[in-house]
Amino acid sequence: MTLNIFRRKTFKHGVHPPEHKDETNGLPIRQFPFAPVIILPMAQHIGAPSKVVVREGQEVVRGQVLAEADGYVSVPTHAPVSGVVRKIGNVPTISGQMTTGIYLEPFPASSQEVQEGTPVALETATPEEIRMGIQQAGIVGLGGAAFPTHVKLKVPDGKNCEVLIINGVECEPYLTTDHRVMLEQADDIYMGMRYLLKTTGADRAIIGIEANKRDAADHLAQHMPNDLPATVEVLPVKYPQGAEKMLVTALLGLEIPSGGLPIDVVVVAVNVATCAEIGRLLPTGRSIQERVVTITGPGIKKKGNYLIPIGTPLRFVLEQVEAAEHISEVYMGGPMMGVAVSNLDISIVKGTSGIVVFSEEDVWRPQTIYPCIKCGMCLDACPLSLNPSQLGILAKHGAYDQMEQNYNLMDCFECGSCSYVCPSNIPLVQHFRIAKRTVKQHRAQK
Amino acid sequence: MVQPTLKISTSPHLKQRITTDVIMRNVVWAMLPLAAFAVYSFGISTLLLLATTTIAAVLTEHVVCRMSGKKSTVFDWSAVITGLLLGLTLPPIFPLWMAFVGGVMAIGLGKSIFGGLGYNVFNPALVGRAILQAAFPAAITTWYPAFTPDRFTQVPASTLALPFMQPPEVDVISGATPLAAFKFEGIRTETTDLALGLISGSTGETCAVLILLGGLYLVVRKMMNWRIPVAVLGSAFLLSGVFYLLNPAEYPHPVFMLFSGGLMLGAVYMATDMVASPLTPLGVWIYGAFIGIVTIVIRLWGGLPEGVMYAILLANAVSPHIDGWVQPRVYGTKPKAAAA
């Protein structure tokens, strides 16, 4: 690794979509009001949905467990507000599918004291206890993936973790959630890093931040406690640097093997907001009740970074921030990898890092899909050096097996860089999603 | 808030606005100064020639689309490039009816037969030119001097020759191209004349400066792969340079090689045809070098004074295979030989 000192800290290829971060990155995090009803899906995370342990009509206290983790790859769901359980039934989700959930009506006059659980003391807790504490706090990856963090932190037997990477890249355009967290919650981040270093056994930590958040990088570097073995690295701005694979490569010059995880190169990577949440919640044994969400886009009047209770209905959120009447597109997450919302009755969940809203006139949509002209722009965009052009042609012919076997289809993590640059407007990523799903189904049938 | 009508789409929701028709249009813009210079140096016959090939190409594209029941694709502008480019590779006084046939062939046999834009194996303009060269070997090597005083007032008789009539005799020697002059008579031309286009040749190949400027524009706008012209010109320069150093009396200077004939035009506007060139970063270099080397080999030892056209067509044919050999290593995998 000694030769790496002359290496430019970045990854191969990638794209530069317009950032639009200036619109919200100077706005401090503000507390959002409680909605008249809170809608909590039980499947906010990857893995088994939480198992409901309250009944309809029951009064609950803010922070109380409403649903337990159902197995190892699962987390509990807590009450983000003191109130009464109005209904347990189906709730809408962003995918369009209904899932079990809880309708919670807040007590208007409640002081909203938070119930605390069992604190996890940094000095005395074992790595195992820290992971359990993280699970009990209901923490999942807040960057958008919503994968249960305690699972990610478990270093498999026979492997070891040397470097902890704190992901403050936030490469998605428009989003400034992590940026504000880094500026305003530095102490929580440091505390979280202590827990994370202890539970993973890593010797050192690196906070990776893109150059468009230099103020955050300076802030974190300046206030870094002396006894914390951590550094801050500023990376050139390029999408999708926030992807785990790309960040590991940018910071360390290592490649995560195809189909592997960061731990295969002795690394564990955690989103910076997740890290802050761990540092804030574990010392008191509290659970996650709210998260920072960037609400922005041309369709929003009161843009900003808001601390929003989990389960707040999107319709209420948009009313509060004075969304325009004629909005036509609402994206949950950033515009590159986020999901288009079809129904405003869904709610803010743990994985919601941003809400980006457009009106018809703000959206440019290509009118014509041309044939692939083999220009090669997608090859120069793909951070994994895949051949999206060839994959797209194969997808058109349904040659999914060939895509998988000869062109590494399954490595694609759908960052969207190829679709973004394609001059022929071919929806490449969508082709690959369908192909990947089909391949997975075939595998499952075998 | 009223329930708005929400549009849903799959990610990514952002899109770069450089689309295929924009790229094609820009290629046309980049070639216009060159076309204008061709008209300025060779006169009204060249204007008619370029208009004929362009109209023939666009018309063929339109008719073939309609015949096969598809929406016309002329608005992607690719047929305009083919037509204009074909005209720029023909001699200034080439009979118009032959040029029209060339335009029809370029699109019909060079492009539509393969499935239209994106599917052509060869550069369509060069397919058209190759057919013309085979069909009308005399007319396509009948040159005409540049900057004749009456070029804006008179149309040479051969331009207006009627189909299937023998074109009238023209003074061939006075308009010999620098390459032909060198090959058959050993006459060398000044490099500055070559660069500025003060010579005879195909309509669009004479002014190297304008070709390079147009190419530069496209490279800056990221609409052209700069590696291809660099590889073509670089390999041609190196190979001809080696022979020049071995025997300066027999072999021409490499700079002469670069600036003479259609090499510059071919390297910048034809070899770079996105559809017919490789996609992979390494493949592009191999492809370019192949063109440069084959061009020089044909020029030095072949029966023809010029070899760019065949070099590019050959390279087009092998370009999918080149891509197959040099698939880039995918992130997180070991190097492997991918299937072609």
Contacts of B7 in chain A (CB under 8 A): 328-329, 340, 363
Kind plus residue range of the DSSP H or E element containing A431: helix A428-445
Contacts of A389 in chain B (CB under 8 A): 279
Q: pLDDT of B225-239, one tens digit each?
A: 999 999 999 999 999
B324 CB contacts (<8 Å, ≥6 apart)? B338, B339, B340
Residue B176 has a pLDDT of 64
Residue B173 has a pLDDT of 45
Question: Which band of pLDDT confidence, cut at 50, 70 and 90, is reported for residue A340?
Answer: very high
Q: pLDDT of A201-252, one tens digit each?
A: 999 999 999 999 999 999 999 999 999 999 999 999 999 999 999 999 999 9
Question: Distance between CA A370 and CA A378 in Å, rounded?
Answer: 15
Residue B340 has a pLDDT of 38
Task: Report which DSSP code applies to A410.
Answer: G
Question: Distance between CA A341 and CA A94 in Å, rounded?
Answer: 6
Find the closest chain B residue to A433 by CA distance.
Answer: B10
Question: Distance between CA A270 and CA A268 in Å, rounded?
Answer: 7
Residues of chain B predicted below pLDDT 70: 1-3, 164-176, 185-186, 197, 336-340
- Show the 3-state SS of B262-294: CHHHHHHHHCCCCCCCCCCHHHHHHHHHHHHHH
Per-residue burial over A144-178, b = 16 or more CB atoms within 10 Å of its CB, e = otherwise: bbbbbbbbbbebeeeeebebbbbbbbbbbbbbbbb
Contacts of A319 in chain B (CB under 8 A): 1
**Chain A: nearest CA to B265, how far in angstroms?**
19
- CA A262 to chain centroid, in Å, comes to 17
Percent of chain A whose predicted confidence (pLDDT) is above 90: 85
Preceding omega of B12 cis (within 30 degrees of 0): yes
Q: Using CB atoms, which residue from B13, B279, B284 is nearest to A387?
A: B279
Residue B229 has a pLDDT of 96
Widest Cα–Cα separation across chain A = 64
Residue A362 has a pLDDT of 84
Residue A3 has a pLDDT of 47
Q: Do B11 and A429 touch (CB under 8 A)?
A: yes
Q: pLDDT of A302-337, one tens digit each?
A: 999 999 999 999 999 999 999 988 888 999 999 999
Find the closest chain A residue to B274 by CA distance.
Answer: A375
Residue A258 forms contact with B (CB below 8 Å):
yes
Mean pLDDT of A241-266: 94
Contacts of A267 in chain B (CB under 8 A): none
Question: Distance between CA A332 and CA A295 in Å, rounded?
Answer: 10
Which residues between 325 and 364 in chain A have a beta carbon less than 8 angstroms from any beta carbon of chain B?
A: 325-331, 335-344, 363-364
A240 touches A383 (CB < 8 A) = yes
Q: Which two tokens stand for residue A204?
A: 């050192």
Domains along the sequence of chain A with CATH: 2-12+118-281 (3.40.50.11540), 37-105 (2.40.50.100), 289-360 (3.10.20.600), 377-445 (no CATH)
Provide the whole-model pTM: 0.90
**Chain B: nearest CA to A219, how far in angstroms?**
31
Among the residue ranges A81-85, A295-299, A371-375, B158-162, the one predicted with the least confidence is B158-162
The backbone torsions φ and ψ at residue A182, rounded to the nearest 5 degrees and listed phi first, read -65, -35
Task: Report which DSSP code applies to A135.
Answer: H
Q: Using CB atoms, which residue from A18, A373, A380 is nearest to B20?
A: A373
Q: Do B281 and A249 touch (CB under 8 A)?
A: no
- CA B137 to chain centroid, in Å, comes to 19
Contact pairs from chain A to chain B, CB under 8 Å: 172
- Show the 3-state SS of chain B: CCCCCCCCCCCCCCCCCCCHHHHHHHHHHHHHHHHHHHHHHHCHHHHHHHHHHHHHHHHHHHHHHHHCCCCCCHHHCHHHHHHHHHHHCCCCCCCHHHHHHHHHHHHHHHCHHHCCCCCCCCCHHHHHHHHHHHHCCCHHHCCCCCCCCCCCCCCCHHHHCCCCCCCCCCCCHHHCCHHHHHHHHCCCCCHHHHHHCCCCCCCCCCCHHHHHHHHHHHHHCCCCCCHHHHHHHHHHHHHHHHHHHHCCCCCCCHHHHHHCCCHHHHHHHHCCCCCCCCCCHHHHHHHHHHHHHHHHHHHHHCCCCCCHHHHHHHHHHHHHHHHHHCCCCCCCCCCCCCCC
A67 three-state secondary structure: strand
CA distances from B301 to B291, B294, B307 (A): 15, 10, 10
The backbone torsions φ and ψ at residue B221, rounded to the nearest 5 degrees and listed phi first, read -80, 5
Q: Chain-wide mean pLDDT for chain A?
A: 92
Please name the residue that has the structure tokens 């919601």. Answer: A352
Q: Do A375 and B274 touch (CB under 8 A)?
A: yes
